[in-house]
Amino acid sequence: MNNERQTPRFKPKRKNRGAAVAAVLCFAAAIAIVGTYTFRDYRQSQQEIEQMELSQAKKQEEKDKTEKSEEANTNLIINEKEDDALAKAPETAETDGAEGTEEEQAPESKSEKNTEQTAGKSNAVNFSSDSKLLWPVEGTLLMNYSMDKTVYFSTLDQFKYNPALVISGEKGDQVISSAPGIVKSIDKTAETGTVVNVDIGGGYELFYGQLNDVKVKTGDYVDSKTVLGYVGDPTIYYSVEGCNVYFEMRKDGQPVNPMDYLVE
């Protein structure tokens, strides 16, 4: 009978112990599983954070480069403006110092301006041996060109060579340009009075003397029929001949006969 009572007394303890071990193992397994997922999530979160920080760092680096580039360009522009200002400073000083002589400098400035304007028209200044001249004034021929023999000058009462045509005209008559060209010079001599020298290209030049009230300036481009001035009083070298236009033509600095080129 004692043996029967003892048998059920020890069996429940073994069952309880096994259940406890199983419970512990399940709890440990649950903790392990939860820990595994928690560590995985943490690792993934850390990787996302690192990627975000890396992306932000790259953006900041690109922004810094852009700002440095813009700053360098701004400094370059500022330096260029300062250099231009320094380069223009002497010119400005000269301009300020020359304000009182503006009227004296005006003819030269206009001449340079006219010369620049005529540069585009240089193709029109191309006189050749086949080109023709217009008569500079309406009148009769008082004295013909003569460089192979002397001719008589009434006012001087002597024979001498004549490198030009002497064409009669009424005082105040218009004197026109015989061909397109550029006014090379305007001079005044005792013999031929005020003379306008026009370069017509090809080595040819025309000289219009005995003029009054000249309408052109040195450097001006003149076309055919442009009014150069007006017939003035004759000089003492042509007082007997009367009012006239002294019309001379040169090729490479040597006189040539204008009659060979004047239209009939």
Identify whether residues 147 and 251 lie together within a single domain. yes
Cβ–Cβ under 8 Å, residues 192 and 210: yes
Using CA atoms, how far apart are residues 92 and 106, in angstroms rounded to an integer? Answer: 17
Within a domain: 210:
yes
Q: What pLDDT score does 204 carry?
A: 98
Strand (E) or helix (H) holding 248: strand 244-251
Residue 131 placed within a domain = no
Look at residue 110 and tell me if it is in a domain. Answer: no
Choose one of 38, 65, 97: the last residue of a domain: 97
- Residue 263 near residue 225, CB atoms below 8 Å: no
Q: Is residue 10 part of a domain?
A: yes
Q: In terms of Cα–Cα distance, which of 187, 199, 182 is closest to 246?
A: 187
Cα separation, 78 vs 258, in Å, equals 62
Residue 66: predicted pLDDT: 72
> Is residue 35, in this structure, part of any structural domain at all?
yes
* Structure-token pair, residue 243: 């009012």
Please, are residues 228 and 175 in contact by the beta-carbon 8 Å criterion?
A: yes
- Exposed/middle/buried for 226, CB within 10 Å: 0-12, 13-18, 19+? middle
Q: Do 80 and 188 share a domain, yes or no?
A: no
Answer whether residue 122 is part of any domain. Answer: no
- Classify residue 157: in a domain, yes or no: yes
Q: Are residues 150 and 253 in the same domain?
A: yes
Do 241 and 154 reside in the same domain of the chain?
yes
Same-domain status, 83 and 148: no
Ranges under pLDDT 50 in the chain = 1-3, 10, 90, 92-93, 95, 97-98, 100-123
168 in the same domain as 75: no
DSSP assignment of 147-212 equals EEEEEEETTTTEEEEE-EEEEE--TT-EEE-SS-EEEEEEEEETTTEEEEEEEEETTEEEEEEEEE
Residue that is last in its domain, among 97, 121, 153? 97
Summary count for the chain: helices (H), strands (E):
2, 12
What residues make up the domain containing 242? 141-260
Are residues 44 and 147 located together in one domain of the fold? no
Q: What residue has token string 């400005």?
A: 92
pLDDT tens figures, 117-149: 444 444 468 999 999 999 999 999 999 999 999
- 76 and 166 fall within a common domain: no
**Number of domain units in the chain:** 2
**Overall pTM surpassing 0.85 (yes/no):** no
CATH number for the domain harbouring residue 191: 2.70.70.10
Residue 50: its pLDDT value, please? 73
242 and 145: one domain? yes
Q: Same structural domain for residues 79 and 153? A: no
Torsion angle, alpha carbons of 105, 111, 117, 121, to 10: -170
pLDDT of residue 37: 56
Residue 108 lies in a domain: no
Residues 45, 152, single domain; the answer is: no
Around 171, how many Cα atoms within 13 Å sit in the side-chain half-sphere?
Answer: 7
**Domain co-membership, 165 together with 227:** yes
